[in-house]
């Protein structure tokens, strides 16, 4: 099957190069380096050539979907084109001339066929249950009985009024035995009306109850089928995501489940971007530029415009791009590695670099972190969880647990203030006292996160011991021992006038004006009780400044 196409199939002549207006980009899970692949003018021109080919066949216009092209360079230096479609094309996952789907589907083909057959059977039964003839019969009978009841009620109401009027007249005009007899006759008429109403209600119930029970049974079956359908779909998606495996340009493969452990939207792995980049990596092709566009009818929900270029979808593709592009721009950057301070089968402690997040943040540009890197690098890394966090700009010891029980037990030690922590810092001025205690209430303004401030009404108590270890050239080196773990606690305790009144060197957020290449705050020591070994661990790393 021919997948690589010459440029002449899409463009007639060379295209004048201009600056790209869009990049497919993501951070390498290992190094954190921002990797980018442009959508160039040539890529868009090639894509327009593909649009002309699609335009000539009406079948493509009736089935709206994303299409993509990837301009690649062969080992020989020649340039070729790969083209891909999202999902299925006219019901097929493999079509001659197009990049094949990501490997893995064949591993679950039998299970997929069986599950799809079950889903089709459920769909048919759902339709039959929703179109059950007894539903219409029940509605029709209810309507007829309501009309009859209304007529009966109106008639009885009129007769009751007549009896009431008769009683008033008789009581005024008649006496003796005649009055008693007539009143008894009126009471009997009232009783007969009541009997007629009860007979009607019984007849109504006898006619409707069997239908009502059947409909209730059908509705219960509908709920159960929908639950089964949801569970079958979830199981199939999980199987597919575990089986689907993509390769990057370092030659490393990961399943979709490993790449997106927090959950994968439906259709993940079937888009153009992962198809094109995986194929290029697996066949030793160097990507130069890529472009994706919508072609065909657009659904109301998607609201796509035919012929318009779109970037990578945020939910399904963007989280994978950093891994997929890894290896395109190989650089020796040993400082991006995460040194391990201590590890065993229950926990791991690393020496986090300044500038690296402890855990992924919000947004595609804040996914690189200690946790995300270790989850990709270590066997069973997907089970790792941070026990505590360090600020992005703070370096030092960070503790992670390898199982839930260890995570819970270590977290309890932090919450109960049983963990001994020592930080080393350089302040951008001279502290005149040698040691002391700082106790201040800290509050974070929701409108100005992550900035913290001293607030005596709303703040949470925070407590820190400090010890000066040296003074030199207008700076002070000291050790902080925090007894609480509030956000930015040491930074505020250093900078606030009610604390030391001197910000940490490099802490621009809290007022440092001195020139510095980093925040001079380092988590140097961590001492805690190992929950599984039953012994005290005292970890210590060298301060890098």
Six-digit token pair at 90? 């006219």
Give the C-alpha distances (Å, rounded to integers) separating 465 from 479, 482, 493, 505, 543. Answer: 8, 6, 10, 19, 19
Q: Are 136 and 148 in contact (CB under 8 A)?
A: no
The C-alpha atoms of residue 235 and residue 232 are separated, in whole angstroms, by: 5
57 in catalytic set: no
3-class SS at 254? strand
Can you list the positions of beta strands (E) in 445-510?
Answer: 452-454, 460-472, 475-482
Residue written as tokens 């004006």? 513
Q: Are 27 and 367 in contact (CB under 8 A)?
A: yes
Nearest-Å Rg of the Cα atoms of the chain is 37
Q: Are 441 and 456 in contact (CB under 8 A)?
A: yes
Residue in 406, 292, 352, 369 with CA at minimum distance from that of residue 524: 352
Angle 526-415-506 from CA coordinates, rounded to 5°: 55
Residue written as tokens 């992924």? 360
Catalytic residue among 391, 393, 496, 507: 391
In sequence order, the β-bridge partners of residue 289 are 71
Element (DSSP H or E) covering residue 34? strand 34-38
The C-alpha atoms of residue 131 and residue 17 are separated, in whole angstroms, by: 60
The percent of the chain in helix, strand and coil, each rounded to the nearest 5, is: 40, 25, 35
Which positions are annotated as active-site residues? 391
């Amino acid at each position: 099957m021919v997948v690589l196409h010459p440029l002449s199939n899409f463009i007639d002549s060379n295209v004048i190069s201009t600056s790209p207006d869009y990049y497919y980009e993501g951070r390498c899970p290992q190094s954190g380096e921002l990797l980018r692949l442009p959508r160039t003018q040539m890529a868009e021109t090639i894509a327009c050539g593909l649009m002309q080919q699609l335009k000539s066949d009406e079948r493509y216009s009736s089935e709206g979907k994303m299409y993509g092209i990837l301009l690649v360079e062969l080992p020989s230096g020649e340039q070729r084109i790969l083209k891909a479609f999202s999902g299925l094309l006219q019901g097929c996952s493999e079509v001659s001339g197009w990049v094949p789907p990501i490997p893995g589907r064949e591993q679950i083909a039998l299970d997929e066929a069986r599950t799809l057959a079950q889903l089709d059977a459920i769909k048919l039964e759902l339709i039959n249950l929703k179109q059950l003839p007894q539903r219409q019969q029940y509605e029709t009978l209810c309507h007829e009985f309501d009309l009859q009841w209304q007529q009966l009620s109106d008639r009885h109401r009129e007769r009751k009024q007549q009896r009431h009027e008769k009683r008033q007249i008789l009581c005024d005009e008649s006496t003796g035995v005649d009055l008693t007899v007539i009143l008894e006759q009126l009471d009997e008429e009232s009783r007969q009306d009541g009997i007629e109403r009860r007979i009607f209600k019984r007849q109504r119930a006898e006619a409707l109850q069997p239908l009502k029970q059947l409909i209730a049974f059908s509705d219960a079956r509908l709920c159960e089928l929908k639950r089964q359908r949801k569970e079958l779909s979830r199981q199939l998606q999980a199987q597919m995501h575990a089986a689907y495996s993509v390769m990057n340009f370092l030659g490393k493969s990961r399943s979709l489940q490993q790449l997106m452990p927090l959950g994968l939207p439906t259709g993940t792995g079937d888009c153009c971007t992962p198809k094109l980049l995986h194929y290029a990596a697996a066949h030793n092709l160097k990507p130069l530029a890529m472009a994706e566009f919508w072609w065909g009818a657009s659904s109301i929900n998607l609201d796509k415009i035919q012929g318009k270029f779109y970037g990578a979808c945020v939910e399904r593709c963007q989280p994978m791009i950093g891994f997929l592009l890894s290896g395109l721009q190989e650089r020796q950057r040993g400082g991006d590695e995460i040194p391990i301070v201590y590890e065993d089968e229950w926990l791991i402690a690393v020496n986090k670099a300044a500038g690296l997040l402890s855990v992924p943040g919000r947004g595609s540009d804040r996914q690189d972190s200690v946790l995300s890197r270790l989850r990709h690098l270590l066997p069973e890394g997907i089970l790792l969880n941070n026990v505590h966090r360090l600020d992005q700009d703070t370096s030092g010891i960070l503790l992670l647990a390898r199982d839930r029980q260890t995570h819970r037990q270590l977290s309890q030690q932090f919450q109960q203030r049983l963990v001994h922590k020592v930080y080393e810092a350089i302040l951008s001025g001279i502290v005149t006292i040698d040691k002391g205690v700082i106790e201040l209430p800290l509050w974070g303004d929701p409108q100005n996160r992550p900035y913290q401030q001293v607030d005596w009404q709303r703040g949470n108590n925070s407590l820190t011991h400090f010890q000066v270890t040296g003074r030199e050239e207008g700076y002070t080196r000291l050790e902080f021992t925090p007894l609480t773990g509030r956000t930015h606690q040491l930074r505020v305790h250093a900078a606030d006038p009610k604390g030391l009144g001197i910000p940490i060197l490099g802490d621009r957020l809290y007022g440092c004006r001195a020139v510095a290449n980093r925040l001079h705050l380092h988590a140097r020591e961590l001492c805690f009780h190992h929950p599984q070994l039953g012994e005290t661990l005292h970890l210590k790393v060298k301060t890098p400044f």
